[in-house]
Amino acid sequence: MEHHTEAVLMSLTSLRADLDRFVADLREGSVPVARQRALAARLIEVGDLLDEHADQQAAGRNGHGGLTLEDLDDR
């Protein structure tokens, strides 16, 4: 597994654990505004990391995203 993929997986896994706690606390109505903003910032950071990962993979496939002739619609 390439280094960048590992970083994306670690970030997503870490975020998932925090999201589980956040959702439970939000259902109880006990999430301070500062914590909401901190989570929003992490979501953006992880989203940017995932977007960069997708860009790197697309570039490695000449921008075709791994499509083959069988994926094309013959209409």
Q: Which residues contact 33 (CB under 8 A, 6 or more apart)?
A: none
- The domain of 30 spans 3-62
Report if residue 29 sits inside a domain: yes
Which tokens sit at 19?
């999201």
pLDDT score of 3:
76
The pTM of the full predicted model, rounded to 2 decimals, is 0.69
Report if residue 75 sits inside a domain: no
Tell me: pLDDT of 30 over 80: yes
Considering its fold, how many domains does the chain have in total?
A: 1
In tens, the pLDDT along 34-73 reads: 999 999 999 999 999 999 999 988 888 755 555 444 544 5
pLDDT score of 44:
96
In tens, the pLDDT along 45-54 reads: 999 999 999 9
Q: Is residue 17 exposed (0-12), middle (13-18) or buried (19+ Cβ within 10 Å)?
A: exposed
Report if residue 71 sits inside a domain: no
